[in-house]
A and B are shown apart, each in its own frame.
Chain A
């Protein structure tokens, strides 16, 4: 299994509070991704990173920000959580060309915004 951990695994927070989710990898992969999973929508890309301090938006980036100060860590921040951000969040990593084209996924973080 790819060495990907996510923390916390479960979180309940109130509307309007800031929340930060952490993804940590031990594979030294260049690319890291944050997705959200909602019923009927599959997984949708929020943001991704292609190197330290290099990030870009995905299809559902509004209300989210990310940071990557080290290769192994990719943080997702909800500046002011809303109920529509209740979801399961997955981190993924890849190293196109070197380790194959696959993305490897973490175990997920279940976030509930009340």
Chain B
């Protein structure tokens, strides 16, 4: 079945540092890929998405590129802020198009 693997946290960074969170997936067909973010005490919010190979999703300075050849969708941000402290989830929407499969989440802590 479908699965998503993302790097374990926590990831601790200083403000203005570069952030990368690795995400790889296993799926049949051509899934859509997502990054969700969860701020403390809140639900999940969609951060960005990509629906086909080589698509780049971007939002709030975050980017991720759908790499079919490496089955990856790594999240990057060039200069993080304290307000980026959150848990980040990689997810895929499988071929049936109605169920998300999530990775385990990566907690990011940005220190001033």
Contacts and interface: CB of A to CB of B under 8 A. Distances in A.
Interface of A: 31, 33, 40-45, 48, 50, 58, 90, 92, 94, 96, 101-108
B98 A43 contact: no
Contacts of A58: 99
Classify the interface of chain A: helix, strand, loop or mixed.
strand
B44 interface: yes
Given A90-B44, A105-B44, A107-B42, A42 B49 contact: no
Interface residues of B, number: 21
A105 B89 contact: no
Interface of B: 4, 32, 34, 36, 42-46, 49, 51, 89, 93, 97-100, 102-105
A41 B105 CA distance: 8
A68 to B, nearest CB: 15
Contacts of A106: 43
Contacts of A45: 99-100
A42 B98 contact: no
Rank and list the top 6 A-B pairs by shortest CB-CB distance, nearest first: A42-B102, A105-B43, A105-B44, A43-B102, A42-B104, A107-B43
B97 A96 contact: yes
A106 B43 CA distance: 6
Nearest to B34: A102
A79 to B, nearest CB: 24
A42 B46 contact: no
Contacts of B45: 105
Nearest to B104: A42
A101 B97 contact: yes
B43 A90 contact: yes
Contact of A42 (B34, B89, B93, B97): B89
Contacts of A104: 46
A92 B99 CA distance: 11
10 contacts: A41-B104, A42-B4, A42-B103, A42-B104, A42-B105, A43-B100, A92-B100, A101-B49, A102-B49, A104-B46
B102 A108 contact: no
Contacts of A101: 32, 49, 51, 93, 97
